[in-house]
Chain A
Amino acid sequence: MNPELLRQFSKVDDVVWELPKTFKHDMQVPARIYGTPSIMKDMDDTVVDQLTNVACLPGIQKHAYCMADGHSGYGFPIGGVAAFDPDKGVISPGGIGFDINCGMRLIKTNLKLKDVQPKIKQLVDTLFKMVPAGVGGRGFVRMNPSQMKDAMQGGAKWCVEQGYGWESDIGRIEDFGAIDHADPAKVSQKALGRGINQLGTLGSGNHYLEVQTIRKGELFDAKAAKRFGLEEGQVVVMVHCGSRGFGHQIATDYLNVFGPAMKSHGITVRDPELACAPFRSKEGQAYFHAMACAANSAFANRQVITHQIREAFKHVFKEDPKELGMELIYDVAHNIAKLEKHKLNGKNKEVLVHRKGATRCFGPGRAELAPLYRDLGQPVIVGGSMETGSYLLLGTKKAEEETFGSTMHGSGRTMSRTQAKHAIRGEQLQKDMEKRGIYVRTTTFTGLAEEAGFAYKDISEVVRTMEIAGISKPVCALRPIGNVKG
């Protein structure tokens, strides 16, 4: 960040920086960024411009936030959190992202590193074959439009009914794997056409499926880890993907609706990607119901992928996935908007929380949490680069007080895709990673180079920032040993 720009922030806390409403004349609330001095120094200036544009949107409450993994996007920054008054405020597809309910899922096994390492190539090759990845990409689930509509309402529950997963999975997914206000009538034929063949596919970009382990000394909260059934040396599987073409098309469709709708509602925004509509308007409600369809299809997508992962382990280790202890730890959405109750000026108030590259992280006791974890707080799965690793965190009460119960979602980029491609060739990166004990399969070597570890922030520092702020706390780090890159 430009030092001149940084000087305009006031330090609220060790890792909390605030820009006042006076920074732009139409800001409704101040803007806050979470970061250590070095994270602030490395954050691109565009984040500040985009975040302060968000702070100008009608009905925004308290602050516009950017988490420590923030980087510039379009419209909202990635890592952005904004809550709106549902009666006086807006809903904005740009505050959710094109990949609606892009999220993370973590599946455990009772296997240890020593069991998996000798078979890692066979395992990753099998996963690569069974979970389609890359451009386009068709899954094995064949659906007719009526079944697709059932899937967009039933989400992960629909998948379990079809035999893709276990009953016990449902209680381990945010919103129990299905948001109840999904309305297929608000979804276009085009979205249906893009999504109908893609259930059970990873996609590409930064989406991946990763086999990971917990290294010695990297289990930070022994009590919580025990509750999750996690210990050092254990092998887990992480999935990062979303609603695929179906969600992308819904976002595209409604951005096109919201552009003209803004004129009729007398709203102006500083960036076309911030197109929005009053939440209670016809357009706002239509998008909210269509967005839920996309969110549920993303839950369904990760559920079918989980089924395939279990089948792959069964094939490689010749044992039933239940015997292999392949229970879900949790599944989180990090591109979504939700109506939630939060305390504002001492009163409980319903707000529409937009999280774009940010994760819900409620503290212990919230009714929305599954009974299984209610006393612990929400499990938060954050994905790092495929070279450096990821984390399992827990939400806190302070997050509910400070950030509308939101925290980071990953590590955040510091280098563009093109820069990364110029810095290393994908083929070389694959060899280097294998030498370091990470076996990678990819559909695209240029895409692999774009995801090199050096293109991302240090995830440990991002995790530490949010811990210092008291927003989320680490349970354990998860280090990659095998990766299927989309």
Chain B
Amino acid sequence: MDVMKKGFRVLEGIAMADLAFEAVGKDLSELFEHAALAVESAMVDVKTVKPKETTTITLEKDSVETLLYEFLSELVYVKDAEQMLFSEFKVSVAKNKGWQLHAHLKGDTINKKMKLGTDVKAITLHQFSVTQDKKGWTARVVVDV
């Protein structure tokens, strides 16, 4: 699978019982969108999630790593607390005093028309990384399923 096509790829040989992925982005905003897509794609075939409702997430953290970790953890929280899964992601990440995130996510409450995957229990810090090179940004994330 071409990693750039979807913006993420599943990684083998990292987590025996869990799911590891690598997301890429030309900038941090795109990286966060692709990482969100990777988490949602573990739980559902996103093609079956209608963009009916919008949820907004706003966060500010000291580091890019913490910002991504908290953002993805928020998706896991909303899945259980609000029963929401998402298929469209508009994220903007900017450095002000700290690292700030504004995300508009479009999706729907869990329903029978969705082709569901595996429930994500948590975003882990196992081998968690966010790196930058001349092509852009890469994040490596292991999720507990």
What is A's interface to B at a CB cutoff of 8 Å?
44, 46, 71-75, 78, 98-99, 134-138, 190, 193-195, 197-198, 203-206, 244-245, 248-249, 251-252, 255, 271-273, 275, 413, 416-419, 443-444, 446-447, 450, 486
Contact = CB atoms under 8 A, between A and B. Distances in A.
Interface residues of B, number: 35
B81 A190 contact: yes
Contact of A272 (B12, B80, B110, B125): B125
B15 A416 contact: yes
Given A72-B16, A190-B81, A443-B116, A418 B10 contact: yes
Contacts of A275: 125
Q: Is the interface of A mostly helix, strand, loop or mixed?
A: mixed
Contacts of B110: 135-136
B53 to A, nearest CB: 15
17 contacts: A71-B16, A71-B17, A72-B15, A74-B124, A78-B17, A134-B119, A135-B79, A135-B110, A193-B80, A197-B83, A205-B121, A245-B77, A245-B81, A272-B125, A272-B126, A273-B125, A417-B19
A443 B142 CA distance: 23
B15 A193 contact: no
Given A135-B43, A271-B126, A447-B118, A249 B12 contact: no
Given A135-B110, A272-B125, A416-B16, A447 B117 contact: yes
B44 interface: yes
Contact of B121 (A44, A73, A248): A248
Given A73-B17, A134-B116, A204-B145, A193 B125 contact: no
B81 A273 contact: no
A416 B13 contact: yes
Given A98-B122, A251-B122, A136 B13 contact: no
Contacts of A190: 77, 81
A78 B16 CA distance: 10
B17 A252 contact: no
Given A98-B121, A204-B145, A205-B118, A136 B80 contact: yes
